[in-house]
Every structure is written in C-alpha cells, then in structure tokens.
Amino acid sequence: MVIELREDVGVKNIKELYSHLKELIKKESEIILDFSKVRRIDLSLAQLIMAANRESYKIGKKIILKSVSYDIKQQLYLSGFAKN
C-alpha cells in the first residue's frame, strides 16, 4: 500500500495520518510512504514515522520511505530516524 504524503503534512493533520497508518499496519504487510511532494517535515511527522516503524517491526511488517529528498533525509537524520 502506497501513501502519498501531502506537501503540507504536519501538526495540523498528523492525527488523520496517524489513524490511517495505524489501520494499515494491521492490514498490510508493507506500507510505502511516498515523500515525492514533501518539501520539509516537522518533528511531529518524524515522531509518527518512528512510532509507526517500531509498531510495524514488532509484528513483522515494513514501512518503506520512497522518493525522499536530500533535505528530508537530513531532517530525518537529525531527528534520529535515518542513518546518514
């Protein structure tokens, strides 16, 4: 299942994304988060990705990040999610 993240994903709509991801983790073996439209992330999205990744890992499922720009990779690295 592919989720195309919106350019403006952040605190204002993080609850909606969290609920959607939570349901998908139960149903899907693999979830792809498409970052092709995302220009920057805030800490709420980084925390959501980390939490979702932990939950999916516990039950043998995967979350894959797709089309992540260099800037987003750096933001994820600084937030503690990604390795450089």
| 67 contact partners, CB below 8 Å, separation of at least 6 | 34, 35, 36
Taking the domains of the chain in order of start, what are their residue ranges? Answer: 2-79
| Tens-digit pLDDT profile for residues 22-73 | 999 999 999 999 999 998 888 888 899 989 999 999 999 999 999 999 999 9
SS3 11: helix
Burial grade of 44 (CB within 10 A; 0-12, 13-18, 19 or more): middle
When comparing pLDDT for 51 and 79, which is higher? 51
Q: What is the 3-state secondary structure (H, E, C) of 12-81?
A: HHHHHHHHHHHHHHHHCCEEEEECCCCCCCCHHHHHHHHHHHHHHHHCCCEEEEECCCHHHHHHHHHHCC
pTM over 0.75: yes
Which CATH architecture does the domain made up of 2-79 adopt?
A: 2-Layer Sandwich (3.30)
pLDDT at 79: 80
